[in-house]
Each structure stands twice: as structure tokens, then as C-alpha cells.
Structure 1
């Protein structure tokens, strides 16, 4: 890789860096203008190639956009020339690299900014005084919008300089949050960088406490893999899976700021959207339908229609009649049933097997049939009629509808798998008149997706990022696993934040359902987002909700603003609004989190007080910085200041106390700078 020699020192280093920023932006504009000026009219063989090339150039132009409010580079590495080139150590002129969100080069092709994902950039995240990795100086830059305002140096080769937490790094972490999630590319820590740069073939599970950056790590890992394996992933595809659309809207701007425009996003519900969902299961029924045992029930149900033949197949060709006896047909069918292949594939193989049996008889009779004859025999009306009777086609939605509405059919397929009580729990109360009139639940849609895969194989992507994974059922894990069966995955979650009745109990079990039992688990315990006092307070719940997990700590020196305000019941709404007003006096976003049942009353109170607010998923701006958040949608979101209304109501809003305490743990850990807890009902004992 080319390097650029150090510029001649000037009196004001900050002005020198600003000049380099201006030159880099000018170089990026030149790169974009050059791409826009390319003439491709006579360089392709046909119109198809021309369309493909034009599309690639259009994407390249988009990727070269200069985002005015986004720093083009955020760091600098200075190496000694002897290290960079192997020259005599007495030559004291250093080599430097500016580390940024994308690569920028000058007119001669020399780099002005190095992509953070390039190997030469890795020491920016990994170097330390114990292991400087040949770096003499690491410089971090501070920005206000797109304007460079400050810098901070670490002399890694100086043994006398103390190891301290970067003030600019802390300032970047604590920067007010208005709008969607930001990238953390300037603040990635060594343990995060190791995960981000893991091999494409590796599936990794990141167990991370609140504020440890697991979501950002997953997104940056996608960006890194696309950089390192672009051609391969361009063919196989990537996907980010989140818990809901509000969450996906919140994170959707991260990858474009890192130069990746084509990564698709979806929820698990959208992945399995074979039918329209219009019903809701009770907690027990939903948990049973999400149980991994349902995969065996469905496997049996898909094959339940297969009937062993009782009549021979007679094929007439010209003046000859060829007979395949019953026992041979039975052997063919039983062999196909014993193999672990998709139902439709086996159904397509059956007429070919029967035809092959006919061709064997033709050859024994002295004929010399070829592949065309075999295909013709496979399409013979007698063979087609026999195959339809033996191996009838399966409609996945109709199959699941029958399973959930026919007690006798369910009992037959679930024998030895589900108890009679469990079967009764998942049966529909009233069978639909037809599949079209059926009212499907989210769990039903996952069952249909499983049935689809049993019939025809689901296509696999190259890499999948699964966020908030702790809330998935085993059957949902299987649905996601099908989408990366030949690829890899990054699984992100926190067992302590599991709030569904079927929440993950252990990552080993979850990874087994995903089809990645060999994946390794990385635990992030060092927090960057949640203030020290806030995470310590929330961690009081850990012994009750996830005793096996290590308590998260905070890298931040500032303890954060934290207050618990008991009030009289008649003043609860007013006190909550007062706390919101106080939070809004600070710069940044404010989230008012409350039990779902409390949200309508608070919405009315906000309207009556003339306090404008938005709902989760709607973007905040300078004029509207308050978001009213139902506790059920708080997971994964973050706000500068959080007002938590009535914790006991959050706990009581869940079907069991442990789930309620986990929901409360989520709500308590959404704050970046300050948390105010307002309550009229006594706090849960675990917080005492």
C-alpha cells in the first residue's frame, strides 16, 4: 500500500489537520466527478452488460458521496519510517495514515484517507502501550458536525506516558443523540474490533450487557465483511434481522455512513410472511408452537400423505407393455422416505426411479433406451397417475391449517412428541371454512415457513446478522438458520433482556436451533453507553433475571445524572411530565418509557400540556426531542435522557414476574446521560 510522507510541520497542528481534511474532501469530489464522467457507450458487448455496468457505476457514485456532517477521517497513525519501509532507523521522518470511513486517494493514486476496514487501520483500534504495534503516535480528532475542532495524541512508544481513557472518545460516546443510531467506527474498542474482523466462515454469538455496543459491532461486522469479501457476498447476499420495524428504522443509517448501501433489513415476521397475520396466540399456545418439537410434528405431517403402492405400474410403449411390480415400487418409495431430502425433490425423483425400473427391463429385453426414453417414460400417464396417488403434492399452508384444526390428524402426527394437553392447547378453537378464511398468528406463520422448507429448500445467504436474538423461539431460530445454512451469522443479544415467554435460556441451546452448534460465544461486559450509576442500579436485577451473567461495567468516568422520585399517586402524571421538562432542558433526545397500559394516559397528558412528542420509529429533530416509548418497544433504543414512569407497572404488565423484571431491566438501561425514575407504587423489592 502506498504511504504519504509527513507534511512539513507548521506552527498550528490543528490548521494543518484542517487543511488535510479540506484536501481530502476535494480529492473525494474529484473521485466522484471522474466516475460521473466515465463514458461506457462502446465498452460493453451487449445491452445486458451495459445495464450491469451502468448500475455498478451508479452505485459507485452513491458510495462516493461526501456526507457534510460526517467526519471524513477520525484518526491518524504515525509510524517510524524504519518500521514502514525497513530503512535505517536514524531516518526520523515518519509515515502517517489517516483513518476514516472510506478510502480517498489523490490524483496520483496515493491514499489521503485509509478505510477503517483495511489491515493497515487495525492498529488504530488494537495498539496500546503494552503492544504499540510499531505505532509511534495515535491521534484522535474531535468534530462538531463536519468541522474539525480538536485533536488528542497518544504517544504509544513513550513508556512514561500514563494509560488514560481518551477524553475525545468519551465525548464522542456522550455526544447528544437526536435522530437515528450513529456508527461507532471512531470509538471501537479492541475487544469489539476482534469480533468485527472475524473470518467470514465464523459464526459468532455476542452476549453483551446494555450499552456494550453489540448492535453496532454487528453492523460494523457486516460492513467489514462486505469490504473484505465483496464479490462473494455480492453473489450470496447479506441480511440484518431486527426485532421490529421501529428498531430497524433506528439503525438503518449506520451502514450507509460506512459506505454500504445495499444491505437488506427485515424482521423475523417479514421473513416468514407466507400468510397474513391477523390473530394472536395466548402465551402458552405461542410457546408451544415455537417449541423445537413442532419441527418433528411437521416433518411427520408432510410425509403423512405418502401411500405405499398396492398396484403395479404398467407402461405401454408402442406394442410393448412394461410392468413394474408392487414390491419394487414399495422399495423405491421406502428408500425415498428414508433419505433426508426435501419432499418436493423426492416427489420429482419418484417418476424417474420408476422410469429407470422400466428402462432396466427394456435393456434386459435387448433394447437400447437413452435418457430421452427415460424422460418420456417418466411423463407417461400411467407413471404420472401412480406418482400422484403415492406422493401427492403438499401445500404448506393447507397442511398447517389441517394440523391445527383436525384433532385426529394432530394426534397422529404428534404421538409421543406432544402430550394430549399440549395438543389441545395449540388446536384452533374454531376450524376455518378454508385456508383463505383462516386467522393466522405469528407463530402459525413460522410453522408454515418450516413446512415450506420441508417441501422445498430455503435459499441461503452469505451472512446474516441477528439482533436481539434472546427473544426468539426455537422455531424462529430455525427459520433464521435456514437463511444462512451455507453461510455464517453474527448473533447479538443479552439473556438478561429476554422478555418473551420462550426467551433464550442459554446461547448453546439457541445456536443449536440455529444450526450453528459450533459457533463461539463472545461476552462484552464493558459498557460505553450507559452511565456508571445507572448501570449499577439496573444491575441490582441481575441476580433475579440472569444470575449466570457477569455484571456490566462502564468505561465512562462521568457517573451520569440519576434520580429516583417517589410521588403521590394523584401526582404521578404531573411529576412524570415535570421530569420530562427537566430532561428537555439538556441537549439531545429524551425518552419517556412507560408500561404499555400507561401509554394512552400519558399521551393524553402530554397533549393537554402542549408537549409535542413522537412515537418509536419516528425520527426526532431539534424541535421535537421527546419520544413516548411503550416498554415493550424500548429494547435496542437509546436516548440521552430517560424518564421511566412507574417501574412496578412495567413489571406487572408481563405475564410472569421474571419477564417483568427483565422488561424493567431493559427500560432502565436506555439512557446515555441521565435517568429519572418516577413512581407512586413501591419499587420492586429487587431494586431495594
Structure 2
């Protein structure tokens, strides 16, 4: 297929050089999409249908076998050899069972090792009496060691996951998923499915995956290309709102207030504060005639635009046209016959532009936020009845900045500027947005993301128990309201595929303290996993951690050493002194370097075959309050795929002892 595309000769099929460039670009994209992936097999399953098309409503073909794979593959004659996993005919591979065979007689799964076919397994769906048996190949694939970036789960998608993946593009879906339930993979595969089912629509409007940090995005970046999707943008929330350089930090209290949805009203008032009513008429000179629009008439226009509550910039652009229209009415009453060109010329006239500049001045969003945070009186005027005086003092800068460039902007300030920018001019909306680790966003950040999909849909992924910011949401309904998608369906995934049984049971001891209403996850893993808790003397802690890492390296797969921020430097030095090479988050693991030293705040969303957790009490103490600290610990405990070793000198948190 790739050779056929490479052999295309387009020199005589395009009308001009522009068309030739566009067509050549499309050909190059197609060649890239058809690249060989040595360790990614083209097919992983087969379906044998029972009946011919149309027989008893069956979709399959009699006696025909459909091979299911990551993408469509056809032979030299154009006949299909492998059916894309997203096609309707492939759906029974994920959902058929002996109770509901969906006209499938046999389902075959193929097993691979390093890209080589090494096993296959058949499931007879016509034997209803036998009951559904757990697939050994499926279990083997789930438990296969992790080295390198995140893999797709296209061969192991479960029925409850498939329902979310194939949900229609018209609605937003929120997925509450416990650790290891595959919510991130479900979100990425949903993007791939939507691009398959609605490619032209999403090609026009665009898709975006939003992750919590760069390490996370690097970890997941190969999933969609492996499924043949190369044009999905990835970003963090900070990337979306990067209107200014961020190099300052807020106190937790200030960040909480700036992230509160009430700031949207403060900004709305501030943006409109420059609008003033005219105190004199506008006189437009056209040739030998002078046309006068009185102040009271212009005031009516201004008040009508304010009452419509349209965006500030759109109203500012409409006002000169309104004034020009009033002039045209006077021209017509005087017997003239002006057309649209005359109206545009009047709207651009010096007198009208001067009046609009005075009545409805231009607003620079960054300068507006700068003024709010720098000027006591300006903030007090627009925050009255919204923020208390104490809250105003908390967010106001101790040292007012002189300019946008020299201001010490924080991440929360950038979100405020983004809100102000949208009040002035509408933010471009995408066709579909995936937001992962959504529980950690502030209301104002939700609004920023929501602006990117006002005319599109979204997939929201998260776990309330893993909220580790001071402003972490406690309710998906509340979060969805801030996002602008209150009607979204909330689906819950509780069946874990990644975290071993003993590990998830141990971590779930924290749930009553961190998320009382949340159901504990169960694990389908047959292996309980390697799990150990070791207490050592304080002066032997570093040595014990290094030894635990050395022992973990004797097994296959990736190793993550997770520790509190203030332990990073000390443990890094200890590993180096012991001759153990180690990586930082975001650096790709390999056969030679499998150990990553991970600060606890960056562990969210990552996974390792073996996790060594250093000093849980220090992880908890590294957060502003105990509840946030326990949530951070819950995240750290649930990064393990095969084994978890906890090494501590200080007493463990009481919640883990129950």
C-alpha cells in the first residue's frame, strides 16, 4: 500500500503549482501514516460470522473471516485483508459473549512477542452452556511488562470501555476512573474512533488532547500514531493560556481565589468599565454636506449593545456601523441614495473613529489584568460584592508591575488573561477535546478548556480520589458546569487492569479519608503482584531504597522510584554513587536505562512495572494539607503494574494501618 502511494506520478494531474504542493503534502501524510512499526502487529484478532449479510439482521458474511487490526489493509486488488478495529463489523470483537454472540461463531485472539506472532487462542461463542472463560492471551497482554512510552490497548479493550470509545461525537462524556482502569487509553482511543467516524468534520474543526504536564504528554504521545492518527495536537492547560511569560508563583490562598469562578464576573465588569456614554454629537462631513447624529441617539446604541451582552470587541466593531447607518438614514431622508460602500466609508471616517475610541476604547486583556492586580481602587470597584476585602488583598500584588513584560505573572494570572481575552474576542472552538487528569483543574481552568470546545464535544477523564491541587474538584457535576457541558454523561470505570490486587486493596485504605463516596476499584489481575512494606532506621533509609531499586532491576520492565520533592537530590546522588543509572520523568526508558526517579507531584498518569516508594510520610508532608497529601500518596501507591515496595523510616500514615 505504501509502495503504491510512493509510485504515484502527479506532474500531469494538477492544474497549477498550488494544487501540486497541496497534493504532494497529502501524499507525504499518507506515506507517513502507512509507515512500518516493527513491534506493532497489523492484526490482533479474527471474527468468524455465522450468517450472510441481511440474514436475520446479521451484518457478517456467511463463512467469511474478518481479521481485526489497527488499520485497514487491502491487497493488490483492493480487497480488504484486515478490517480497522473502529469499523462497525469489528465491534463484536469487543462486545460479543456467549450470552450475546452477535452472530459471531468464533473469536480468535493473536499473541505477539516483539512483533512476532507467538500464540493464538480461539473462543467458541456458540457454546452458551460453557460460560465465558477468561482469555489467557488477554491476561498476558494486560500483564506484559512496560518499557518505553504508553502502549495502545486496542487488542484488549473491554466491553464497558468500548461503549465509551464508540460514544457519538454529539455529546460530551465524563469518565470517572479509578487507578489502572484504562481511562487515559479509553480517551485516546475515543479520539481515534471519532477521527475514523467523522474524519472530514474533525479535519475542519480540529482535535486536541490536554494533559497535566509535559512528562505525561511525552508518555502518551505514541498511542495515536500507532493507531494511524498523526494530526492530533497535544498541550497542557498552561500551553493553552500562554499569553504571557509565567515566572511567578502565587500563595495557595491567592491561587485558590484567582481560580475561583467568581473571578469571571470581576473580569467581565473590568472589561466593560471603559465604556462611557457620549456627551456630544457626532458630525460627519461628506462633500459639502454635514450629517449630525445627536449624543442621545448614540447613547441608545451603546446601551443596546451593552444589554445584548455580546463580546466587547464585537460590540466595538458594531458601534461605528450603527452610527454610519444613522447617517445613511438621514441621507435617504434628504433624497440621496447611498449604498453599502457609503456606509463603510462613513464608519471609517475620522469623526466616527474618534467617537468610538472615546466611547468604546480598545481593551488589551493583559494590561487589564495587570491593572486589576496592581491598582487597589480599580480592583475594589469591580470586585465589590464578589470578593471580600481580605480576598482582594490576597490576590493584589505587593509590588505593582509597571508593564506587561516586566510583571511577575503566575500560572493563575495567565488563566485570568485568557478569560479576559475571550470577553474581548471569541476563542476558536475545536471539534473535540480530550481533557485528562481533569480533577485537578480550577473552575477558571475549566472555563479556559470549555472555551476550546464550545461548538464541539469533549471527553473528560479523571479520578476524584487523585485530586492533588488545593482547588481540586469534589464533584463532576460542578466541574462540568464550569466547563460549559452540564448535560454530559458521567460514566464510572471501577474494574482495574493495571494495578495488582494487593496493591489496589492497600491503596484503597485511603479512600474513606480522601474520597468518602467513591467506590474502591477491583482488579482483574490474576497475579496479586509483588508487594512489600519495609521499615528501616533513619540513617539506613537511602541505602535501603537503593537496594530495593537494585532488586527491582533484576526483574523485567520499567522501575519508578517515587519520592517527595525534597528527597529528589539526595536519592539521585545515592543512586549515582551506587552505580545505578537513572532517568528523569519524560526521558524514555530503554533496556539499558529502566530506572526513573520521579518526584511525587509528577507521578500522576505514569505507570511502571515496579515502583519503589520512598518515605510515604514525607510525600504527605510535602503538600499544604493532610487530605491533599494523602491523595498524593494514593497516586504514588497506584503507579505499579507488577510490584510495589514501600521503604520508610518514619511511621506510616494512620489511614494505611487500618
TM-score by length of 2: 0.98
Match of 1:624 among 568, 574, 593: 593
State whether structure 2 residue 381 is matched by structure 1 residue 412: yes
CA offsets 1:350-377 (integer angstroms, 9 cap, x no match): 1111111111112222222111111111
- For residue 47 of structure 1, report the CA deviation from its aligned partner: 1.6
Question: Which one of the candidate residues 487, 509, 522 is aligned to 1:518?
Answer: 487
Is contact 1:641-1:673 (8 Å) kept? yes
C-alpha contact (below 8 Å) 1:83/1:134 kept by paired residues:
no
1:603 aligns with: 572
Q: CA RMSD in A?
A: 1.2
Partner of 2:42: 72
In terms of mean alpha carbon deviation, does 122-131 or 105-114 score higher? Answer: 105-114
Q: Higher mean Cα deviation, 43-52 or 31-40?
A: 43-52
2:199 maps to 1:258: no
CA deviations on 1:615-668 (whole Å, 9 max, x unpaired) are 000001001110000000000000000000100100000000000000000000
- Structure 1 gaps of 5+ residues are 1-30
Mapped partners of 2:129, 2:432: distance in 1: 45
Q: Which residue of 2 aligns with 1:46?
A: 16
d(CA) in 2 for partners of 1:68, 1:649: 43
1:531 matches 2:535: no
- Give me the whole-angstrom Cα distance separating, in 2, the residues matched to 1:447 and 1:291: 10
User: 1:506-655 alignment to 2 at 5 Å?
Assistant: 506-655=475-624
1:194 paired residue number: 163
Residue 61 of structure 2 is aligned to residue 61 of structure 1? no
Match of 2:64 in 1: 95
| Partner Cα distance (2:43, 2:345) in 1 | 66
Specify whether residues 374 and 135 from structure 1 end up closer, same or farther in structure 2 by C-alpha distance, changes over 3 A only: same
Question: In structure 1, how many angstroms separate the alpha carbons of the residues matched to 2:345 and 2:472?
Answer: 53
Once residues 664 and 336 of structure 1 are traced to their aligned partners in structure 2, the CA distance between those partners, rounded to angstroms, is 52
> Do structure 1's residue 672 and structure 2's residue 641 form an aligned pair?
yes
Match of 1:468 in 2: 437
Look up the match of 1:278. 247
Q: Give the CA deviation at 1:598.
A: 1.0
**Which residue does the alignment assign to 2:411?**
442
- Runs in 1 of length 4+ with deviation above 6 angstroms? none
Shift of 1:397: 0.6
Deviation at 1:164, TM superposition (A): 2.1
- Secondary structure at the counterpart of residue 157 of structure 1: coil
Give the Cα separation in 2 of the matches to 1:78 and 1:559.
35
Alpha-carbon contact 1:155-1:161 (below 8 Å) kept? no
Distance 2:458 2:643 in 1: 34
Secondary structure of the 2:94 match is helix
1:404 match: secondary structure: helix
Distance 2:404 2:112 in 1: 58
* Structure 2 CA distance for aligned equivalents of residues 502 and 559 of structure 1: 35
Secondary structure of 1:336's counterpart equals helix
Instruction: Provide, for residues 383-429 of structure 1, a one-character-per-residue CA deviation record: whole Å limited to 9, x for no partner.
Output: 11111100110011100000000010000011111000000000001
Q: Distance in 1 between matches of 2:517 and 2:304?
A: 47
1:301-380 maps to which residues of 2 (within 5 A)? 301-380=270-349
**Gap regions ≥5 residues in structure 2:** none
Contact 1:615 1:628 in 2 (8 A): yes
Give, in angstroms, the shift of residue 548 of structure 1: 1.3
In 1: Cα distance, 2:632 partner to 2:386 partner: 32
CA-to-partner distance for each residue in 1:407-454, whole Å, 9 max, x for gaps?
Answer: 100000111110000000000010112222111000000111111111
CA contact (8 A) 2:53 2:62 kept: no
SS at match of 1:94: coil
* Structure 1 residue 159, shift from structure 2 partner: 2.0
| Alpha carbons of structure 1 residues 93 and 504: separation in structure 2 relative to 1, 3 Å | closer
Equivalent residue number for residue 402 of structure 2? 433
Query: What is the correspondence of 1:43-192 to structure 2 with a 5 Å cutoff?
Result: 43-80=13-50, 82-84=51-53, 86=55, 94-192=63-161
C-alpha separation in 2, matches of 1:138 and 1:324: 78
Mean Cα displacement is larger for which, 366-375 or 473-482? Answer: 366-375
Cα drift, residue 340 of structure 1: 2.2
Judged with a 3 Å threshold, the aligned counterparts in structure 2 of structure 1 residues 155 and 355 are, in CA distance, closer, same or farther, namely same
For the residue of structure 1 that corresponds to 2:64, the secondary structure is strand
Structure 1 residue 247 corresponds to structure 2 residue 247: no
The alignment status of 1:294 with 2:263, answered yes or no, reads yes
Tell which deviates more after alignment, 47-56 or 388-397.
Answer: 47-56
User: Normalised by the size of structure 1, how large is the TM-score?
Assistant: 0.94
User: Does the Cα contact within 8 Å between 1:115 and 1:121 map onto a contact in 2?
Assistant: yes
Q: Deviations over 1:258-277 (max 9, x none)?
A: 00011110001011101000
SS at match of 1:277: coil
Residues 571-590 of structure 1 show CA distances to partners (whole Å, capped at 9, x for unaligned) of 11111111111111100000
Q: Counterparts of 2:299 and 2:53 in 1: how far apart (Å)? A: 72
SS in 2 for 1:160: helix
In 2, Cα distance between the equivalents of 1:192 and 1:45? 47
Secondary structure of 1:141's counterpart equals strand
